[in-house]
Each structure stands twice: as C-alpha cells, then as structure tokens.
A and B are shown apart, each in its own frame.
Chain A
C-alpha cells in the first residue's frame, strides 16, 4: 500500500511502549499491532486523534504517502 504507517518510529522517538500507548489511546493491543504492522485497511479519525494526543504529534508524523510506482518498488 502507498500509505506507510510510521507509528513505530514515533513510538521510538517518544520512548513509548506498545502497552503504554494501548492504555493511553484505549485501543486493544491486537488492533494497535494491526495498525503498526501496516495491515490496517482504514483508521478512524477518533483513533488518529487519540494517537496524536498520546504521542504529541501530527497525523503526518504517523502517516506517510509514498509513490510506489515512482520509487519503482
């Protein structure tokens, strides 16, 4: 998929574990894992808002668009 989830990068920057983020956001660990590994098909605005609040970042820090055709990958 052309949308890359950089959740693990932001978590590393904030030195926050998956368990801690799960508790702060109120999202289950399996769902957070789905999001982190890029398997998620969609993300709710409410979830995105909660993650941005917990990590003190912008949506653009978590989600990134990469043109796969241009990159040739």
Chain B
C-alpha cells in the first residue's frame, strides 16, 4: 500500500472524527439551549436560538409553537448529520485498505445512503414548512439543502451496491483453490 494513500486515509479518518465530535457538541448545545428556553425565559438563550435558526426573531413573537417546531426540526437535522458522521467514523474503523470489501463496510455504506435519503426527505419537508411560515409574513433565511442530500443518497446507494458486488467477488476469490 502506498504511503501517500495511507497518509490521506489517516488524515481523512482524523477529519471525520473532528466533524463527528463537532456535530455532537452542536447537537448537544442545541438540545440544552432548547430545554433551557422551555424552562426559563432567558433573553441571551433566545438570542442564541435566533442566531442558530437564522430566524428574524419574529417567529417566536408570531407563535411559540412554530418557533419550537422549527427548532426541533433543526435539532433533528443536526442529530442526523451527527449520526451520518458516526457511521462514517465506523466505516473508517472497519475499513482495511489491503482488503477493502467486507460485509460490515457494505452494510454501513448502505445505512448511510438510507439515512441520507431520510435526511433529504426531512429537509424537503422542512423547506416546505419554512416556505409556509415565510408566506405567513415571518421571514426565515434557512437553507436545508434537501436536494443535495437526495443526490448524496443516490450516489452513496450506488457506491454501496458496488461494494456489495466487490464483497461477493472478494469472497469468491478467497474461496477459489
């Protein structure tokens, strides 16, 4: 195995870990802020939530239920991002460059494609909800990237199928005497 490939592999592995930890911290902060916001009416937390959700602040004044629904969607979206990063971390832990095709890695890649598809559908639903709220006169500048996630899900699904076939071929090769 080329040392350059090994270096890039290790670098990306570390990067994926950093992204995963970052997303976990972000999701945890959001959940904590939401709980605090539900329990206490603190101005600073309200401002923080408005910064994160890219709300103009009118949504909270317009209707609290929509504010919390929108915020819950953002938390769910962030949590799913973290879960995808977690699956990516698991892939890097399982992947052996000498023999990359394995049943475990194939299952994980398939899982990422399904989760990405779910995230895409969630993002599209959230986009629709955001547009609906905007039509009510409350401007929210939040980009959910629903289409990008659907495209990502499609590409990863194809990759998973290639891996599945690769695993079959590798097993066949190993059982050829």
Cα separation A42 to B168 with both chains bound (whole Å) = 13
Most buried by A among B172, B175, B176, B177: B177
- Whether A58 sits at the interface, judged by CB under 8 Å, is no
Residue of B nearest to A47 (CB): B177
Interface size on B, as a range, is under 10
Cα separation A32 to B176 with both chains bound (whole Å) = 10
Selected from A27, A32, A42, A47, the residue in CB contact (under 8 A) with B175 is A42
Q: What B residues does A53 contact at CB under 8 A? A: none
Chain A 17-52 interface residues, beta-carbon cutoff 8 Å to B: 27, 31-32, 34-35, 39-44, 47
Residue of B nearest to A48 (CB): B177
Residue of A nearest to B172 (CB): A41
Q: What B residues does A31 contact at CB under 8 A? A: 177
Chain B 118-177 interface residues, beta-carbon cutoff 8 Å to A: 171-172, 175-177
Q: What A residues does B177 contact at CB under 8 A? A: 27, 31-32, 34-35, 40, 42-44, 47
Cα separation A40 to B171 with both chains bound (whole Å) = 10
Question: Quick check: B176 and A44 within 8 Å, CB to CB?
Answer: yes
Cα separation A43 to B177 with both chains bound (whole Å) = 5
Q: Enumerate chain A interface residues (CB-CB to B < 8 A).
A: 27, 31-32, 34-35, 39-44, 47
